[in-house]
């Protein structure tokens, strides 16, 4: 995706009062098990790679852990009430595999299944559709000990787990997402090592990426055999632009687009790896881990694609660092990432709503047609809980408004966008950043676990009810 930054994406005079979404549009909020649940030792839950990682000193800012998080495991009824106040139609959450299969295989842990069963029932009672993600990064530790995602067996174990839990919840849950952001699991987990399990073995990240997708394909097949209605996957996509039009910068953008976006989109939606990606990686590794039939399994039709969008990458050709450091960009370590000096969120991520428009229209143009959902979008800012009990987060409201408008522009151009999930319902454990970054529509006081709807949440409640801006 090159030099599209100056394209028709910008709509200078978009009248926001005209922004109406189609009837039946899905409005939701999203969370993930390790980020909100806490209760890590309760009711037979086993350890995940995130428990191990977070308890390794120096891995997480402030050495925070998910041990307690938002205590959602106990407070979910209150959290469901908050969702009802927000007027959302759907709640996207993930299942903690180690609650359901503490060893990552075999017998299901009845108490773990029961928790999710109660959560699903509680949502349905309030008229909120559960939208389940099977894997949002909390791999059972015993499976990592056996090799983790770089090992093929993990894909088989994932499909077994998926079928077993779908068998218990599938009667009440229509929408199933296999994986959240396999890029993060593979590259942050096994290449740069900034996420669990913290390994820094570049080629292992590519093997992990393949086995994650294989696990997706095997799980999707198993769920369909059980009569699942809607099965999809969520990927995190970024437009990747070259900082100049030079051949070298454009090549840098092509390489990063390959390692970030096309490494997943092509196998999932075309049944092949991009030739240029394989050529880029040839000096570093072979692809012997790809077996006959894998790509057909991975390429089985999707009922929807979930897109998580946060920002854009702008890159330039640089020089290979003299002291190699672990990076996510296996085989392309020389590429440099450029900041443009535009406003950023508390994550340091540049605020670029046009990038959402570009991402949705690109997927549609190059890989579609298929139903799309924005399964995550949102922003961290330095929120303050004022003395009068309000969080005046105009920055977050404005961020969301601009991104909703960008998504709407994609819709008006024919993209089959069916819904939008805000990240996140609650402030929560933001991975390597611990509790220092707040993404919620609802503020959480981590001392008392008190929840306070932020101003952005009040505003969002109007959007969901008006189905427009």
Binding site for ligand FCB (CB under 6 A): 32, 35, 180-181, 184, 236, 308, 376, 423, 430-431, 439
Burial of 162 (C-beta count, 10 Å sphere; 0-12/13-18/19+)? buried
Structure tokens belonging to residue 10: 């910008």
Please say which residue, 196 or 295, places its beta carbon nearer to ligand FCB.
196
Residue 459 marked ligand-binding: no
Residue 357 marked ligand-binding: no
Q: Minimum distance between the CB of residue 308 and ligand FCB, rounded to whole angstroms? A: 6
Please say which residue, 425 or 453, places its beta carbon nearer to ligand FCB.
425
Q: Minimum distance between the CB of residue 7 and ligand FCB, rounded to whole angstroms? A: 26
Contact assessment for residue 241 and residue 1, using Cβ atoms and an 8 Å cutoff: yes
Please say which residue, 273 or 420, places its beta carbon nearer to ligand FCB.
420
Q: Minimum distance between the CB of residue 283 and ligand FCB, rounded to whole angstroms? A: 29
Residue 35 marked ligand-binding: yes
**Residue whose token pair is 């993600």:** 133
Structure tokens belonging to residue 105: 């295989």
Catalytic one among 37, 181, 350, 358?
181
Verify whether residue 376 is a known catalytic residue. Answer: yes
* Helix count and strand count (H, E) for the chain: 17, 13
Specify the 3-state DSSP secondary structure of 47: coil
Residue 180 marked ligand-binding: yes
Structure tokens belonging to residue 176: 């199933």
Q: Minimum distance between the CB of residue 423 and ligand FCB, rounded to whole angstroms? A: 5
Residue 431 marked ligand-binding: yes
d(CA 155, CA 311): 30
Please say which residue, 119 or 426, places its beta carbon nearer to ligand FCB.
426
Q: DSSP per residue over 254-268, as a string?
A: HHHHIIIIIHHHHHH
Verify whether residue 160 is a known catalytic residue. Answer: no
Contact assessment for residue 151 and residue 169, using Cβ atoms and an 8 Å cutoff: no
Residue 210 marked ligand-binding: no
Q: Minimum distance between the CB of residue 429 and ligand FCB, rounded to whole angstroms? A: 9
Q: For 240, what's the count of Cα atoms within 13 Å in the CB-facing half-sphere?
A: 23
Please say which residue, 39 or 184, places its beta carbon nearer to ligand FCB.
184
Residue 206 to residues 8, 187, 197, 264, 303, Cα–Cα distance (Å): 35, 8, 15, 11, 25
Tell me the binding residues: 35, 136, 180, 310, 423, 430-431
Tell me the binding residues for substrate: 35, 136, 180, 310, 423, 430-431
Catalytic residues: 181, 376
């Amino acid at each position: 995706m090159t030099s599209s930054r100056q394209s028709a994406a910008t709509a200078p005079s978009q009248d926001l009062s005209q922004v109406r979404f189609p009837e039946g549009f899905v409005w939701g909020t999203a969370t993930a098990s390790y980020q909100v649940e806490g209760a890590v030792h309760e009711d037979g839950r086993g350890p995940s790679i995130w428990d191990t990682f977070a308890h390794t000193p120096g891995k997480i800012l402030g050495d925070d852990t998910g041990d307690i998080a938002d205590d959602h495991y106990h407070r979910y009824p209150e959290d469901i009430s908050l969702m009802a106040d927000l007027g959302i139609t759907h709640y996207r959450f993930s299942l903690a595999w180690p609650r359901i299969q503490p060893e990552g295989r075999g017998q299901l842990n009845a108490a773990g299944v029961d928790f999710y069963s109660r959560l699903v029932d509680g949502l349905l009672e309030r008229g909120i559709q559960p939208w389940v993600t099977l894997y949002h990064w909390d791999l059972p530790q015993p499976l990592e000990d056996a090799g983790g995602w770089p090992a093929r067996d993990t894909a088989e174990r994932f499909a077994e787990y998926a079928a077993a839990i779908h068998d218990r919840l599938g009667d009440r849950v229509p929408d199933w997402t296999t994986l959240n952001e396999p890029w993060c699991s593979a590259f942050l987990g096994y290449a740069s090592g900034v996420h669990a399990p913290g390994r820094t073995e570049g080629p292992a990240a590519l093997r992990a990426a393949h086995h994650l997708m294989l696990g997706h394909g095997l799980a999707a097949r198993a769920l369909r055999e059980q009569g699942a209605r809607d099965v999809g996957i969520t990927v995190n996509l970024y437009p990747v632009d070259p900082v100049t039009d030079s051949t070298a910068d454009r090549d840098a953008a092509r390489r990063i687009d390959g390692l970030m976006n096309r490494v997943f989109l092509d196998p999932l939606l075309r049944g092949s790896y991009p030739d240029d990606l394989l050529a880029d990686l040839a000096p570093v590794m072979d692809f012997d881990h790809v077996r006959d039939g894998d790509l057909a399994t991975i390429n089985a039709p999707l009922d929807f694609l979930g897109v998580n969008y946060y920002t854009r990458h702008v890159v330039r050709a640089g020089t290979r660092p003299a002291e190699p450091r672990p990076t996510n960009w296996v085989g392309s370590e020389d590429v440099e990432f450029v900041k443009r000096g535009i406003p950023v969120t508390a994550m340091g991520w540049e605020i670029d709503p046009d990038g959402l428009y570009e991402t949705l229209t690109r997927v549609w143009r190059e890989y579609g047609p298929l139903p799309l959902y924005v399964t995550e979008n949102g922003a961290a800012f330095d929120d303050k809980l004022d003395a009068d009990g309000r969080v005046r987060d105009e920055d977050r409201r404005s961020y969301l408004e601009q991104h909703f408008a960008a998504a709407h522009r994609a819709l008006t151009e024919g993209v089959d966008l069916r819904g939008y999930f805000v990240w996140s319902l609650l402030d929560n454990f933001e991975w390597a950043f611990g509790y220092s970054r707040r993404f919620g529509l609802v503020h959480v006081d981590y001392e008392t676990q008190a929840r306070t709807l932020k101003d952005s949440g009040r505003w969002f409640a109007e959007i969901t009810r008006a189905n427009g801006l």
